[in-house]
Structures are given as structure tokens and as C-alpha cells.
Chain A
Amino acid sequence: MSLLVDAFSLLAILAGLVFFAAGTAGLLRFPDASSRLHALTKADHLGLGLIVLGLLPRAEAVGGAPRLIAVWLLVLVSSAAAGPLLARLARRR
């Protein structure tokens, strides 16, 4: 059982890292500021979400599951607020 849980954690965290790498590739590869924002927000949200998911079974070590989920939600809220603002500024120039 614990082997299964460990395998789940490992897979989820590795998948999360892939999406962080994809977000960074997008940041380097995409042609304009708004496209880069797509990469930085959407791919990284999914990456962070998967890492949080993978850490949930061992959440006691990092302050409990609600704290982990709160971290993900706070990142979502802050980039939902900042993303459109930055895209608007980038367009105005």
C-alpha cells in the first residue's frame, strides 16, 4: 500500500515538473508577452497543482493538506489578478 502511495507521489511530482519545464520552454520560445503569460500561468498552475497532489499523502511533513491546497489557491488567485493586468499593459505599448 505504501509503495503504491509512494509511486503515486513520485508520478504526480514528476508530471508536475514536466509542466514547469513546459512553462519555462514557453517563456523562452513564445513570441510575445501575452503568449509568455499563457505559458507562465497555465502550465505552471498545472505543474504546481500536480506537485501539491503528489505531496498530499505525505502532507503532515509540510503543515497539512489544507495548507498545501491553500498555497495552490493563493497562487491561482494572484496570477488570475496579475495576468490580465500584465497582458493589458503589454498590449498598450
Chain B
Amino acid sequence: MAAGATRFALLLLAWAAITGGDDMMLGAVTAAAAAWCSLLLSPPGPYRPRPTALALLALRFPWQALRAGVDVARVALDPRRAPNPGEVAWTPRLPPGPARDAFLAYASLLPGTLPAGEAADGAVIIHALTNHAAVAADMTAEEARFARAIGADA
């Protein structure tokens, strides 16, 4: 019930942001229907997000987006730097499931890493554009931050 109310409130907020506050009645009906669908498709998990850690992760994100974009742009535009793509097998701490999937989606936005499927031994393949050596340690550090934010490290 609490999860449904939170999702409804967030969806209504998204409606207000996108429409600029018009037709809030229609927005409430839509948000209620969307919250109901989301509970069916993705029932609440066992984790309770920590607001402070989540806010820190969100505040850190623009900086990460800047680093990621500048990294790729330098390789793409500088004729002296050629891309050196490679794959790194990295073992996640998060158990398989929605939390790990959410982290891998988030990791695809971080500098230099793009998750590209699973290896046979349960590791995750990370595609890296440059600097392969640092990828596994970076992923583990980011995973710890992410797990703290969603409350999955208890």
C-alpha cells in the first residue's frame, strides 16, 4: 500500500512537471492507473531506499555525466586517440534480480562502462572504450554506492 502511494505521488509529480500543472484531475486518474500497472508488473522489493544516500547519488550524477561525455568526446574527436574497445568480466555483489538489473542500467550511464550481457560463470561482461584496467574496481565502488542508496547493503 505504501509503495503504491509513493509510486502514485511520483507519477503525479511527473505529470505535473511535463504538463506544467494542467489537467491535474486527468493526471490523477492516469497516475493511479500507472501506479496500479507498475505494482502488477514490478511488485515492491525487499529493499528500503535511504533518502540521504539516494540524494547524494543523484547529486553526483551530473558530474558523472560530464566525465562520461568528455571521455567519449575526446576519443571520438581527437585524431591522435583511437578507441581501444575491450571486454572485462566483472563479478557483481548484488544478487541477480531487479536490483542488479537497475544497477547495470545505471552503470551504462557512468564513464567508460557499458554492461553487455552475462558470462557463463555468473560474471557480467562490461564493454569498455578505453582504460580497461580500472573498470572492475570502478564498477565495484559504484555498486557499493548504489546498494547503499537503494538499501540493498544491509
Interface residues of A (CB under 8 A from B): 18-19, 21-23, 25-26, 29-32, 34-35, 37-39, 41-43, 45-47, 49, 63-64, 66-67, 69-70, 76, 79-81, 83-84, 87-88, 90-92
**B29 → chain A closest CB, angstroms:** 19
Give the CA-CA distance A19 to B105 in the complex, in Å. 22
Residue of A nearest to B128 (CB): A38
Give the CA-CA distance A45 to B125 in the complex, in Å. 23
Q: Is the interface of B mostly helix, strand, loop or mixed?
A: helix
Q: Is the interface of A mostly helix, strand, loop or mixed?
A: helix
Q: How many A-B residue pairs have CB under 8 A?
A: 122
| Given A19-B69, A38-B114, also A43-B85 (CB < 8 A) | no
Give the CA-CA distance A69 to B76 in the complex, in Å. 27
Give the CA-CA distance A47 to B65 in the complex, in Å. 10
B116 / chain A contacts, CB cutoff of 8 Å: 34, 84, 87-88, 90-91
**Are B72 and A38 interface neighbours, CB within 8 A?**
yes
Stretch at the interface among B10-18, B33-41, B136-144: B10-18
Most buried by B among A49, A64, A87, A91: A87
| Given A22-B77, A49-B62, A70-B18, also A84-B70 (CB < 8 A) | no
A21 / chain B contacts, CB cutoff of 8 Å: 77
**Are B68 and A92 interface neighbours, CB within 8 A?**
no
Which of B20, B71, B83, B87 touches A63 (beta carbons < 8 Å)? B20
| Given A70-B14, A84-B105, also A34-B85 (CB < 8 A) | yes
Which of B87, B108, B111 touches A84 (beta carbons < 8 Å)? B108
Q: B90 at interface (Cβ–Cβ under 8 A)?
A: no
**B50 → chain A closest CB, angstroms:** 21
**Are B85 and A30 interface neighbours, CB within 8 A?**
yes
**B88 → chain A closest CB, angstroms:** 12
